[in-house]
Amino acid sequence: MTAAPQSPARPLLPRPLALPDFPWDTLSPYRERAAEHPDGVVDLAVGTPVDDTPQVARDALAAASNAPGYPTAVGAPAVRAAIIEWMERRRGVAGLTQAEVIPTIGSKESVALLPLQLGVGPGDLVLHPRAAYPTYDVGARLAGARPVPVDTDADPRTWGIEDSAQVAIVWLNSPGNPDGHVLGVEQMARIVDWARARGAVVIADECYAELAWAEPWASQGIPSLLDPRVSADRSGLLALYSLSKQSNLAGYRAAFLAGDAALVAAVTEVRKHAGLLVPAPVQAALVAALGDEAHVEAQRSVYRARRQALAEASAAAGLVADPASVAGLYLWLSGPEGMSAYELVGAFAELGIVVAPGDFYGEAGAGRVRMSLTDTDERVAAAAARLRSPQAAALFS
């Protein structure tokens, strides 16, 4: 007797992850409206570099292109040596060893995966800045933990975190995305002391550190979490850095992390198993870019000019820049009282300009927009001219 065919079992996968909606999809109608402008769209929403990758990095990539073997997860000794030298020369962090640094596949990889790689899990809290790049939240969720926004500019004793709470990670972002705020040595030290009293790790995303626009940071440099003035030792501390912004290497995915050797070893072990390997030619480009300051200063000058043009034009239109926004790749703007972030985005779209609503970055972004400095000089000049027009004055009144 032939058995009756069984009904197929209901597929187990994919199971939905507890992730927020991808925010950029909501910009589609505003992009379409902006594209109708007779002089074309100016896209200042996404901070993706548009200027050329420096020749020194391109030459290094080409010279290392014959790379038939697998790179190591920990990175070549030469790339780790370059990271160590750069951290001392540019960030004031001396004495790092090769056990305390590794290259990574961009810094977003680390933001999203470090909680998982470090063993964060259900019941843990992952604290992050209240105005923040969404991936801090996503990384906590991927590990099954709970993301909690806090005001990292304020005394951590005011954060409202219960003493019994199981805080696993405190994320810092200085200079901040989207707000451009900078954390000084004293504030970081206060947060480190608070976190260590709870057994928590502190991780700083410092990828905009070479883009300081106001004093004292422009001349003295923006301090790293690993600065010896923050703490005499690096236990429980990690700092991330990316060459995407300073060197227009976003397409290369060239970045690194540095800090507590025990944490670096734990992350490296997971990366070995997962095959998270920075390609050897990219490692060579990273070494070359870290060793050349001329292209960084040239790019900084480009962004400084674009920032000034957009800041002055925004002010002329009646928009108000956050006075604490003193570094980074964005303007953090508010409009007339009562005007929502999406209403501001809509007004910009009428001018053919695309910006990001502050809501993307948490409740602290209500009523604000983030304007990137990353479009060509010609497009930035076009945006500035539109913001100085009578139409802009009417839209933002």
Cβ 248 vs Cβ 52: under 8 Å: yes
Q: State the pLDDT at residue 136.
A: 96
Model confidence at 293, pLDDT cuts 50, 70, 90, reads very high
Listed residues 238, 271, 291: the one ending a domain: 291
Shared domain check, 203 and 117: yes
Shared domain check, 277 and 354: no
Average pLDDT in the 255-271 region? 97
Shared domain check, 129 and 37: no
Instruction: Residue 373: name the closest of 178, 135, 214, 242 by CA.
Output: 178
Shared domain check, 108 and 128: yes
Number of folded domains in the chain?
Answer: 2
Residue 1 predicted with pLDDT over 60: no
Residue 367 predicted with pLDDT over 70: yes
Q: Each residue of 300-327: pLDDT tens digit?
A: 999 999 999 999 999 999 999 999 999 9
Shared domain check, 169 and 239: yes
Q: How many residues does the chain have?
A: 397
Shared domain check, 239 and 144: yes
SS3 (DSSP) at 170:
strand
The boundaries of the domain holding residue 315 are 23-52+295-395
Average pLDDT in the 17-26 region? 78
Q: State the pLDDT at residue 9.
A: 79
Q: Which CATH number is 29's domain given?
A: 3.90.1150.10
Does 1 map to a domain?
no
Q: H-helix or E-strand containing 295?
A: helix 294-316
Average pLDDT in the 268-289 region? 97
Cβ 222 vs Cβ 173: under 8 Å: no
Q: H-helix or E-strand containing 266?
A: helix 261-274
Shared domain check, 66 and 211: yes
Residues ≥6 apart with Cβ < 8 Å to 58: 285
Average pLDDT in the 320-335 region? 96
Q: State the pLDDT at residue 307.
A: 98
Does 231 map to a domain?
yes
SS3 (DSSP) at 298:
helix
Shared domain check, 323 and 377: yes
Q: State the pLDDT at residue 5.
A: 66
Listed residues 260, 291, 322: the one ending a domain: 291
Does 266 map to a domain?
yes
Cβ 74 vs Cβ 270: under 8 Å: no
Model confidence at 40, pLDDT cuts 50, 70, 90, reads very high
Residue 3 predicted with pLDDT over 70: no
Q: Each residue of 148-188: pLDDT tens digit?
A: 999 999 999 999 999 999 999 999 999 999 999 999 999 99
Instruction: Write the burial class of residue 323 (CB in 10 Å: 0-12 exposed, 13-18 middle, 19+ buried).
Output: exposed
Residue type at position 58 = R
Quote the CA–CA distance of 212 and 309 in Å, as a whole number: 16
Q: State the pLDDT at residue 78.
A: 97
